[in-house]
Copies of this chain bind each other. A is one copy, B any other.
Amino acid sequence: MPKLVEYAEAGPEVRAVFDAIKAARGVPDVNNFWKALAVDPASLKRTWESLNQVMAPGTLDPVVKEMLYLAVSMAAGCAYCTASHGAAARAKGMSDAMYGELIAIVGMAAETNRLAEALRVPVDTGFD
């Protein structure tokens, strides 16, 4: 079993980030990702701050941002990330139909990605 740092055994640096996550999300405990990352308190803090900045309100709709995160996680084959960002996307409004369309794109893009690489297709002038 990988090491998961629980609040009770955490130092003040880790507790401060855990508290910030719990407050921001209104949850009683942080997810396993944060507990695992707490083995390196500096990475924990930096990752939480970076994530907040990247997912902050902007031009894109929050559910679109979360779906982009989910699509990248699926493409990277990260099961944990697919599960956690799938749940987050649902919470932000991803419907079954939206999820179905996302799945279709992830699969199709994987196929054309490999075909373009397998055929070593030169970039068309117009794309640049």
Instruction: Give me the interface of A with B, judged by CB distance under 8 Å.
Output: 1-2, 4, 31-33, 36-37, 39-43, 46-47, 50-51, 53-55, 58-60, 64-65, 67-69, 71-87, 95-124, 126-128
Q: Is the CB of A108 within 8 A of B77?
A: no
- Not counting A2-B121, A59-B97, a sample of 16 additional A-B residue pairs whose C-beta atoms are within 8 angstroms of each other reads A2-B122, A31-B127, A32-B121, A32-B122, A32-B123, A33-B115, A42-B104, A46-B54, A69-B109, A74-B114, A79-B117, A80-B116, A83-B123, A83-B124, A86-B127, A87-B127
- Which residues of the partner chain B approach A72 to less than 8 Å between Cβ atoms? 71-72, 74-75, 105-106, 109-110, 113
* Stoichiometry (number of copies): 6
| Known A-B contacts A43-B103, A111-B107; A119 and B36 likewise in contact (beta carbons under 8 Å) | yes
What are 8 A-B contacts with C-beta separation under 8 Å? A32-B122, A55-B105, A71-B75, A72-B75, A75-B75, A78-B113, A80-B117, A85-B109
A115 to B35, CA, bound (A): 12
Interface of A is mostly: helix
